[in-house]
Amino acid sequence: MKLKGDTKSGDVEAILGENTSFEGKMGFEGMARLDGKFDGEIFSGDILIIGETAAVNAEINVSSLLIDGKVSGNISATAKIEIHSTGKLYGNIITPTLVIEEGGLFDGTCKMGKGVEGAAKKITPIKEKEPAGKEEPAEEVLN
């Protein structure tokens, strides 16, 4: 099994085979390859490879994502996302580097640039009012 890019099949730590399906949360160290069906969440500080026969519907947070199959979901990659010629990505992405080969498909929104890792963090809205029992001086002045 030869992988695209500078990766060797011997480098892959985990594989979800072509005739396999999985639903749930997946975390891993090293490089992982998905060739089957996956629904859920995927998180790692390393590389995820989506093979040509894969159908993935997931929230993905990894260092690098290499896509040869079909992926649907919101993706955050701290290093890069590569969509190869047979790859299809439907969803919203956050990454500093995006590479799309001729024939590859991307349908969604993309945030790029330095510091986009911070954009993936959840933002807490500012309180509009103080808890009951406390009066705000600004309201008294306005009334």
pLDDT of residue 118: 44
pLDDT tens for the chain, residues 1 to 143: 334 444 444 577 777 788 889 899 999 888 999 999 999 999 999 999 999 999 999 999 999 999 999 999 999 999 999 999 999 999 999 999 999 999 999 999 999 976 555 444 333 334 444 445 444 444 444 44
Spell out the residues 6+ positions from residue 34 whose beta carbon is closer than 8 angstroms to its own: 15, 16, 48, 49, 50, 51, 54, 56, 69
pLDDT of residue 30: 87
Q: Is residue 140 part of a domain?
A: no
First to last CA, the chain: 74
Q: Which string of DSSP letters, residue by residue, matches 103-135? A: T-EEES-EE-STTGGGGGSPPPPPPSSPPTT--
Tell me which residue range forms the domain holding 113. Answer: 9-120
How does DSSP classify residue 97? Answer: -
Q: Is residue 135 part of a domain?
A: no
Q: Which residues pair with 89 in a beta bridge?
A: 71, 106
Q: Is residue 32 part of a domain?
A: yes
Q: Is residue 31 part of a domain?
A: yes
Domain total of the chain: 1
Model pTM score: 0.72
